[in-house]
DNA sequence: TCTGGGGTCCTAGGACCC
DNA sequence: TCTGGGGTCCTAGGACCC
Protein backbone atom coordinates (compact mmCIF):
# COMPACT_ATOMS: atom_id res chain seq x y z
CA UNK A 1 0.00 0.00 0.00
CA UNK A 2 1.30 3.43 -0.88
CA UNK A 3 2.00 5.94 1.86
CA UNK A 4 -0.91 8.24 2.58
CA UNK A 5 0.07 11.88 2.88
CA UNK A 6 -1.85 14.80 4.32
CA UNK A 7 -0.81 18.43 4.01
CA UNK A 8 -1.96 21.16 6.37
CA UNK A 9 -1.89 24.70 5.01
CA UNK A 10 -1.89 27.63 7.43
CA UNK A 11 -1.65 31.26 6.32
CA UNK A 12 0.99 33.31 8.13
CA UNK A 13 -0.48 36.09 10.33
CA UNK A 14 -3.48 35.94 8.01
CA UNK A 15 -5.60 38.84 9.24
CA UNK A 16 -2.67 41.21 9.64
CA UNK A 17 -1.33 40.15 6.23
CA UNK A 18 -4.66 40.93 4.53
CA UNK A 19 -4.67 44.38 6.12
CA UNK A 20 -1.10 45.08 5.02
CA UNK A 21 -1.95 43.99 1.47
CA UNK A 22 -4.48 46.76 1.10
CA UNK A 23 -2.36 49.26 3.03
CA UNK A 24 1.15 48.62 1.71
CA UNK A 25 2.49 51.52 3.77
CA UNK A 26 1.98 49.31 6.87
CA UNK A 27 4.50 46.71 5.68
CA UNK A 28 7.19 46.19 8.30
CA UNK A 29 5.24 48.03 11.02
CA UNK A 30 3.73 46.51 14.15
CA UNK A 31 0.06 46.00 13.23
CA UNK A 32 -2.60 44.85 15.69
CA UNK A 33 -6.08 43.91 14.47
CA UNK A 34 -8.89 43.56 16.99
CA UNK A 35 -12.28 44.79 18.13
CA UNK A 36 -13.19 48.15 16.66
CA UNK A 37 -9.57 49.14 16.35
CA UNK A 38 -9.64 51.40 19.38
CA UNK A 39 -7.15 50.22 22.00
CA UNK A 40 -8.91 52.22 24.72
CA UNK A 41 -12.03 50.07 24.30
CA UNK A 42 -12.86 46.62 25.65
CA UNK A 43 -11.78 44.09 23.06
CA UNK A 44 -9.00 41.65 22.28
CA UNK A 45 -6.33 41.09 19.66
CA UNK A 46 -7.46 38.95 16.73
CA UNK A 47 -4.04 38.86 15.05
CA UNK A 48 -0.79 40.75 15.54
CA UNK A 49 1.87 41.09 12.84
CA UNK A 50 5.25 39.51 13.53
CA UNK A 51 6.64 43.01 14.19
CA UNK A 52 4.03 43.50 16.94
CA UNK A 53 4.60 40.00 18.32
CA UNK A 54 8.20 40.97 18.96
CA UNK A 55 6.80 43.34 21.62
CA UNK A 56 4.94 40.52 23.30
CA UNK A 57 1.57 41.19 21.70
CA UNK A 58 -0.42 38.03 20.93
CA UNK A 59 -3.86 36.74 19.97
CA UNK A 60 -6.50 36.91 22.67
CA UNK A 61 -4.73 39.65 24.58
CA UNK A 62 -6.87 42.61 25.69
CA UNK A 63 -6.35 45.56 23.37
CA UNK A 64 -5.46 47.79 26.30
CA UNK A 65 -2.66 45.46 27.34
CA UNK A 66 -1.45 45.30 23.74
CA UNK A 67 -1.34 49.11 23.60
CA UNK A 68 0.69 49.16 26.79
CA UNK A 69 3.20 46.65 25.40
CA UNK A 70 3.45 48.29 21.99
CA UNK A 71 2.19 51.90 22.12
CA UNK A 72 3.39 52.65 18.59
CA UNK A 73 1.49 49.79 16.96
CA UNK A 74 -1.10 50.54 14.29
CA UNK A 75 -4.48 49.38 15.63
CA UNK A 76 -7.10 48.32 13.08
CA UNK A 77 -10.71 47.11 13.39
CA UNK A 78 -11.71 43.57 12.44
CA UNK A 79 -13.15 43.47 8.90
CA UNK A 80 -14.84 40.08 8.48
CA UNK A 81 -15.88 40.66 4.90
CA UNK A 82 -12.32 41.38 3.74
CA UNK A 83 -11.09 38.17 5.38
CA UNK A 84 -13.94 36.14 3.87
CA UNK A 85 -12.96 37.36 0.40
CA UNK A 86 -9.26 36.64 0.90
CA UNK A 87 -10.02 33.26 2.44
CA UNK A 88 -12.24 32.27 -0.50
CA UNK A 89 -9.39 33.12 -2.90
CA UNK A 90 -6.96 30.96 -0.93
CA UNK A 91 -9.34 27.99 -0.75
CA UNK A 92 -10.21 28.26 -4.44
CA UNK A 93 -6.48 28.20 -5.23
CA UNK A 94 -6.03 25.05 -3.16
CA UNK A 95 -9.02 23.34 -4.79
CA UNK A 96 -7.57 24.06 -8.20
CA UNK A 97 -4.42 22.05 -7.46
CA UNK A 98 -3.65 18.53 -8.61
CA UNK A 99 -1.66 15.85 -6.86
CA UNK A 100 -0.68 12.57 -8.47
CA UNK A 101 -2.51 13.72 -11.58
CA UNK A 102 -5.96 14.15 -9.98
CA UNK A 103 -7.62 17.08 -8.19
CA UNK A 104 -6.81 17.32 -4.49
CA UNK A 105 -9.34 17.04 -1.65
CA UNK A 106 -9.59 20.20 0.47
CA UNK A 107 -11.05 20.37 3.98
CA UNK A 108 -11.41 23.95 5.19
CA UNK A 109 -10.84 24.52 8.91
CA UNK A 110 -11.44 28.22 9.19
CA UNK A 111 -10.51 31.46 7.49
CA UNK A 112 -6.83 30.63 7.21
CA UNK A 113 -6.41 26.87 7.44
CA UNK A 114 -7.11 23.76 5.39
CA UNK A 115 -6.12 20.14 5.03
CA UNK A 116 -5.14 19.03 1.55
CA UNK A 117 -5.24 15.34 0.67
CA UNK A 118 -4.72 13.29 -2.43
CA UNK A 119 -7.82 12.77 -4.52
CA UNK A 120 -9.59 9.48 -5.17
CA UNK A 121 -7.66 7.20 -7.52
CA UNK A 122 -4.47 9.22 -7.39
CA UNK A 123 -1.38 7.96 -9.19
CA UNK A 124 2.19 8.33 -8.01
CA UNK A 125 2.19 11.23 -5.56
CA UNK A 126 5.87 12.00 -5.61
CA UNK A 127 7.62 13.84 -2.81
CA UNK A 128 5.09 15.49 -0.47
CA UNK A 129 7.65 18.14 0.45
CA UNK A 130 7.74 19.23 -3.17
CA UNK A 131 3.95 19.31 -3.27
CA UNK A 132 4.02 21.47 -0.14
CA UNK A 133 6.36 23.94 -1.82
CA UNK A 134 4.11 23.97 -4.89
CA UNK A 135 1.19 24.89 -2.63
CA UNK A 136 3.15 27.72 -1.02
CA UNK A 137 4.09 29.07 -4.42
CA UNK A 138 0.55 28.77 -5.81
CA UNK A 139 -1.03 30.57 -2.85
CA UNK A 140 1.57 33.33 -2.93
CA UNK A 141 1.15 33.72 -6.68
CA UNK A 142 -2.65 33.87 -6.54
CA UNK A 143 -3.15 35.95 -3.40
CA UNK A 144 0.21 37.52 -2.45
CA UNK A 145 -0.21 35.81 0.94
CA UNK A 146 2.45 33.68 2.56
CA UNK A 147 1.64 30.37 4.22
CA UNK A 148 3.32 27.48 5.97
CA UNK A 149 2.65 23.83 5.23
CA UNK A 150 2.78 20.78 7.48
CA UNK A 151 3.38 17.39 5.91
CA UNK A 152 2.11 14.36 7.80
CA UNK A 153 1.08 10.76 7.45
CA UNK A 154 -2.25 11.78 8.99
CA UNK A 155 -4.17 14.98 9.72
CA UNK A 156 -3.07 15.24 13.34
CA UNK A 157 0.63 15.08 12.50
CA UNK A 158 0.27 17.42 9.52
CA UNK A 159 -1.54 19.96 11.68
CA UNK A 160 1.08 19.89 14.42
CA UNK A 161 3.91 19.97 11.88
CA UNK A 162 2.84 23.32 10.44
CA UNK A 163 3.83 25.27 13.53
CA UNK A 164 7.41 24.00 13.22
CA UNK A 165 7.52 25.28 9.65
CA UNK A 166 6.32 28.81 10.47
CA UNK A 167 6.79 31.28 9.00
CA UNK A 168 6.96 30.62 5.24
CA UNK A 169 8.23 27.07 5.63
CA UNK A 170 7.47 23.37 5.37
CA UNK A 171 7.89 20.69 8.03
CA UNK A 172 7.33 16.94 7.99
CA UNK A 173 6.04 14.94 10.96
CA UNK A 174 5.37 11.21 10.64
CA UNK A 175 5.34 8.04 12.74
CA UNK A 176 9.09 7.91 12.11
CA UNK A 177 10.03 11.18 13.85
CA UNK A 178 6.96 11.62 16.09
CA UNK A 179 8.61 10.78 19.39
CA UNK A 180 11.89 12.38 18.44
CA UNK A 181 10.10 15.70 17.79
CA UNK A 182 7.17 15.55 20.19
CA UNK A 183 8.13 13.01 22.86
CA UNK A 184 9.57 15.38 25.45
CA UNK A 185 7.08 18.17 24.83
CA UNK A 186 4.21 18.81 27.27
CA UNK A 187 0.87 17.17 26.53
CA UNK A 188 -0.56 20.62 25.81
CA UNK A 189 1.53 20.70 22.62
CA UNK A 190 -1.05 18.30 21.20
CA UNK A 191 -4.02 19.52 19.17
CA UNK A 192 -7.00 19.06 21.49
CA UNK A 193 -5.25 19.21 24.87
CA UNK A 194 -5.47 22.59 26.52
CA UNK A 195 -4.40 23.84 29.91
CA UNK A 196 -7.26 22.21 31.86
CA UNK A 197 -6.74 18.75 30.44
CA UNK A 198 -2.98 19.23 30.75
CA UNK A 199 -3.41 19.77 34.49
CA UNK A 200 -5.74 16.78 34.78
CA UNK A 201 -3.17 14.57 33.06
CA UNK A 202 -0.37 15.97 35.21
CA UNK A 203 -2.36 14.91 38.28
CA UNK A 204 -2.17 11.37 36.87
CA UNK A 205 1.60 11.69 36.55
CA UNK A 206 1.47 12.34 32.80
CA UNK A 207 3.48 15.39 31.75
CA UNK A 208 4.94 14.62 28.34
CA UNK A 209 3.72 13.24 25.04
CA UNK A 210 5.76 10.07 25.55
CA UNK A 211 4.28 9.55 29.00
CA UNK A 212 0.80 9.96 27.53
CA UNK A 213 1.59 7.46 24.79
CA UNK A 214 2.87 4.94 27.33
CA UNK A 215 0.01 5.47 29.77
CA UNK A 216 -2.71 2.91 30.40
CA UNK A 217 -5.69 3.69 28.16
CA UNK A 218 -8.04 1.95 30.61
CA UNK A 219 -6.98 4.24 33.43
CA UNK A 220 -7.46 7.28 31.18
CA UNK A 221 -10.93 6.02 30.27
CA UNK A 222 -11.83 5.55 33.93
CA UNK A 223 -10.39 8.88 35.08
CA UNK A 224 -11.28 11.17 32.18
CA UNK A 225 -14.14 9.51 30.34
CA UNK A 226 -14.88 6.65 27.98
CA UNK A 227 -14.57 8.88 24.92
CA UNK A 228 -12.00 11.50 25.82
CA UNK A 229 -9.62 9.18 27.71
CA UNK A 230 -8.88 6.84 24.80
CA UNK A 231 -8.82 9.82 22.44
CA UNK A 232 -6.06 11.52 24.45
CA UNK A 233 -4.16 8.24 24.43
CA UNK A 234 -4.33 8.22 20.63
CA UNK A 235 -3.17 11.85 20.54
CA UNK A 236 -0.10 10.89 22.54
CA UNK A 237 0.86 8.34 19.91
CA UNK A 238 0.06 10.70 17.05
CA UNK A 239 -2.65 8.35 15.84
CA UNK A 240 -5.47 9.74 13.71
CA UNK A 241 -7.45 7.71 11.20
CA UNK A 242 -9.90 10.40 10.10
CA UNK A 243 -10.01 11.23 6.40
CA UNK A 244 -9.64 14.59 4.71
CA UNK A 245 -13.30 15.43 4.20
CA UNK A 246 -14.29 17.93 1.54
CA UNK A 247 -18.02 17.81 2.21
CA UNK A 248 -19.44 21.27 2.80
CA UNK A 249 -19.64 22.41 6.37
CA UNK A 250 -23.16 22.48 7.79
CA UNK A 251 -23.41 24.81 10.79
CA UNK A 252 -25.11 23.33 13.86
CA UNK A 253 -25.73 26.66 15.48
CA UNK A 254 -25.34 30.37 15.20
CA UNK A 255 -24.76 32.87 17.96
CA UNK A 256 -24.04 36.48 18.67
CA UNK A 257 -22.18 37.88 21.62
CA UNK A 258 -21.56 41.41 22.67
CA UNK A 259 -19.27 42.83 25.29
CA UNK A 260 -20.61 46.14 26.51
CA UNK A 261 -18.30 49.07 26.88
CA UNK A 262 -20.32 49.97 29.97
CA UNK A 263 -21.69 47.17 32.13
CA UNK A 264 -25.49 46.86 32.02
CA UNK A 265 -27.13 47.44 35.41
CA UNK A 266 -30.74 47.74 34.29
CA UNK A 267 -32.34 44.35 33.62
CA UNK A 268 -35.05 45.84 31.46
CA UNK A 269 -32.23 46.96 29.21
CA UNK A 270 -30.67 43.52 29.41
CA UNK A 271 -33.94 42.07 28.10
CA UNK A 272 -33.91 44.60 25.25
CA UNK A 273 -30.34 43.67 24.33
CA UNK A 274 -31.31 39.99 24.32
CA UNK A 275 -34.05 40.80 21.81
CA UNK A 276 -31.61 42.74 19.63
CA UNK A 277 -29.06 39.92 19.65
CA UNK A 278 -31.76 37.37 18.85
CA UNK A 279 -32.75 39.39 15.78
CA UNK A 280 -29.15 39.44 14.60
CA UNK A 281 -28.75 35.67 15.00
CA UNK A 282 -32.02 35.17 13.14
CA UNK A 283 -30.55 36.83 10.07
CA UNK A 284 -27.99 33.99 9.93
CA UNK A 285 -30.56 31.31 10.70
CA UNK A 286 -32.77 32.51 7.87
CA UNK A 287 -29.84 32.27 5.49
CA UNK A 288 -29.35 28.63 6.48
CA UNK A 289 -33.00 27.90 5.74
CA UNK A 290 -33.46 25.71 8.80
CA UNK A 291 -35.54 26.64 11.86
CA UNK A 292 -34.13 26.91 15.38
CA UNK A 293 -34.73 24.00 17.73
CA UNK A 294 -32.99 25.33 20.84
CA UNK A 295 -32.30 28.72 22.35
CA UNK A 296 -29.33 29.46 24.59
CA UNK A 297 -28.20 32.42 26.62
CA UNK A 298 -24.75 33.23 27.94
CA UNK A 299 -24.15 35.99 30.44
CA UNK A 300 -20.81 37.14 31.73
CA UNK A 301 -21.04 39.14 34.88
CA UNK A 302 -18.61 41.50 36.44
CA UNK A 303 -16.52 40.29 38.16
CA UNK A 304 -15.59 37.47 35.78
CA UNK A 305 -18.31 34.85 36.08
CA UNK A 306 -20.30 33.16 33.34
CA UNK A 307 -23.66 31.43 33.38
CA UNK A 308 -25.49 29.75 30.55
CA UNK A 309 -29.14 28.78 30.25
CA UNK A 310 -30.91 27.02 27.43
CA UNK A 311 -34.18 25.44 26.45
CA UNK A 312 -35.59 23.23 23.75
CA UNK A 313 -38.48 24.82 21.88
CA UNK A 314 -41.83 23.01 21.83
CA UNK A 315 -41.47 23.03 18.06
CA UNK A 316 -38.68 24.28 15.76
CA UNK A 317 -39.40 27.78 14.50
CA UNK A 318 -37.86 30.86 12.99
CA UNK A 319 -40.59 33.20 14.15
CA UNK A 320 -38.79 36.29 15.50
CA UNK A 321 -41.24 36.99 18.32
CA UNK A 322 -41.33 33.39 19.56
CA UNK A 323 -37.55 33.16 19.60
CA UNK A 324 -37.03 36.54 21.26
CA UNK A 325 -39.62 35.70 23.93
CA UNK A 326 -37.94 32.36 24.54
CA UNK A 327 -34.53 33.99 24.90
CA UNK A 328 -35.88 36.63 27.28
CA UNK A 329 -37.68 33.95 29.33
CA UNK A 330 -34.29 32.42 30.10
CA UNK A 331 -33.44 35.57 32.07
CA UNK A 332 -35.93 34.40 34.71
CA UNK A 333 -33.55 31.55 35.48
CA UNK A 334 -30.64 33.90 36.16
CA UNK A 335 -29.87 35.69 39.40
CA UNK A 336 -30.17 39.34 38.50
CA UNK A 337 -27.98 40.76 41.19
CA UNK A 338 -24.84 41.91 39.38
CA UNK A 339 -23.91 44.08 36.41
CA UNK A 340 -23.70 42.36 33.02
CA UNK A 341 -20.55 42.69 31.00
CA UNK A 342 -21.25 40.32 28.08
CA UNK A 343 -24.41 38.90 26.59
CA UNK A 344 -24.64 36.04 24.14
CA UNK A 345 -27.59 34.49 22.33
CA UNK A 346 -27.26 31.19 20.51
CA UNK A 347 -29.77 29.40 18.31
CA UNK A 348 -29.24 25.73 17.54
CA UNK A 349 -30.70 24.57 14.30
CA UNK A 350 -32.56 21.41 13.45
CA UNK A 351 -30.37 18.80 11.78
CA UNK A 352 -30.13 19.14 8.02
CA UNK A 353 -32.51 16.98 5.97
CA UNK A 354 -31.31 13.50 5.00
CA UNK A 355 -28.96 13.45 2.08
CA UNK A 356 -27.98 17.05 2.57
C1' DT B 1 -8.60 49.59 32.90
C1' DC B 2 -8.16 42.04 32.05
C1' DT B 3 -9.90 38.28 29.75
C1' DG B 4 -13.62 38.72 21.98
C1' DG B 5 -16.58 36.30 19.21
C1' DG B 6 -17.42 32.59 16.28
C1' DG B 7 -17.96 27.77 16.75
C1' DT B 8 -17.65 22.19 18.05
C1' DC B 9 -18.10 18.24 21.01
C1' DC B 10 -18.44 15.77 25.52
C1' DT B 11 -20.25 14.71 30.23
C1' DA B 12 -23.04 14.50 34.36
C1' DG B 13 -27.29 14.37 36.41
C1' DG B 14 -32.26 14.64 36.56
C1' DA B 15 -36.80 13.68 34.50
C1' DC B 16 -39.44 10.57 32.42
C1' DC B 17 -41.01 6.32 30.21
C1' DC B 18 -41.70 1.33 29.78
C1' DT C 1 -37.48 -4.86 54.18
C1' DC C 2 -36.32 -2.97 50.05
C1' DT C 3 -36.70 0.17 46.73
C1' DG C 4 -34.95 -2.74 38.78
C1' DG C 5 -32.81 -1.52 34.72
C1' DG C 6 -32.54 0.27 30.26
C1' DG C 7 -33.25 3.95 27.29
C1' DT C 8 -34.03 8.78 25.71
C1' DC C 9 -34.36 13.62 26.24
C1' DC C 10 -33.22 17.89 28.43
C1' DT C 11 -30.27 21.17 30.80
C1' DA C 12 -26.04 23.15 32.62
C1' DG C 13 -21.53 23.45 32.20
C1' DG C 14 -16.72 22.36 30.71
C1' DA C 15 -13.07 22.17 27.40
C1' DC C 16 -11.06 23.24 23.23
C1' DC C 17 -10.11 25.50 18.71
C1' DC C 18 -9.35 29.50 15.39
Cβ pair A159, A189 in contact under 8 A? no
For A13-147, CATH gives 3.40.1170.60
State how far the Cα of A180 lies from the Cα of A350, in Å rounded to an integer. 46
Fold match, A183-236 / A253-349: no
A253-349: CATH superfamily: DNA polymerase, Y-family, little finger domain (3.30.1490.100)
The SS3 of residue A253 is: strand
State how far the Cα of A315 lies from the Cα of A184, in Å rounded to an integer. 52
**From the C1' of B5, which residue's alpha carbon is nearest?**
A257
Domain range annotation of chain A: 13-147, 183-236, 253-349
**C-alpha separations of A164 from A8, A157, A210 in Å:** 12, 11, 19
* pLDDT the model gives residue A1: 53
Distance measured from the CA of protein residue A121 to the C1' of nucleotide B4, in angstroms: 44
Chain C: nucleotides below 7 Å from protein CB are 9-18
Distance measured from the CA of protein residue A334 to the C1' of nucleotide C11, in angstroms: 14
| Active-site entry in A19, A25, A41, A113 | A113
Q: Is A257 a catalytic residue?
A: no
Q: For strand C, is any atom closer than 7 Å to the CB of A351?
A: no
State how far the Cα of A141 lies from the Cα of A22, in Å rounded to an integer. 16
**Nucleotide closest to residue A163 (CA–C1'):** C18
At A93, give phi and psi (nearest 5°). -60, -45
Pick the CATH number of A183-236 from 1.10.1610.10, 1.10.3720.10, 1.10.150.20, 3.30.499.10: 1.10.150.20
* pLDDT the model gives residue A4: 86
Chain B: nucleotides below 7 Å from protein CB are 1-12
Q: What is the pLDDT along chain A (356 residues), one digit of tens a residue?
A: 567 899 999 999 999 999 999 999 999 999 999 988 999 998 889 999 999 999 999 888 889 999 999 999 999 999 989 999 999 999 999 999 999 889 999 999 989 999 999 988 887 788 999 999 999 999 999 999 999 999 999 999 999 999 999 999 999 999 999 999 999 999 999 999 998 899 999 999 999 999 999 999 888 888 888 888 999 999 999 999 999 999 888 888 999 999 898 899 999 999 999 999 999 999 888 888 889 999 999 998 877 788 999 999 988 998 999 999 999 999 998 988 888 989 999 999 887 665 44
Amino acid sequence: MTQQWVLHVDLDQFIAAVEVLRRPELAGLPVVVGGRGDPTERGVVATASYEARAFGVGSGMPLRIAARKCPDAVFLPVDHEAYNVASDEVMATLRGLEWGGVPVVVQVLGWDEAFVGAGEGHGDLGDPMEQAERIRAAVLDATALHCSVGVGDNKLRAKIATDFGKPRGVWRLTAENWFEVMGDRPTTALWGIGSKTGKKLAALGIDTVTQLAESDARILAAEIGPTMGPWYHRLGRGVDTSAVDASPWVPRAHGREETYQQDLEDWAQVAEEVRTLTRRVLADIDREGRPAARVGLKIRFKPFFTVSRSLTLPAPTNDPTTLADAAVSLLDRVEQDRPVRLLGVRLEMTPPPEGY
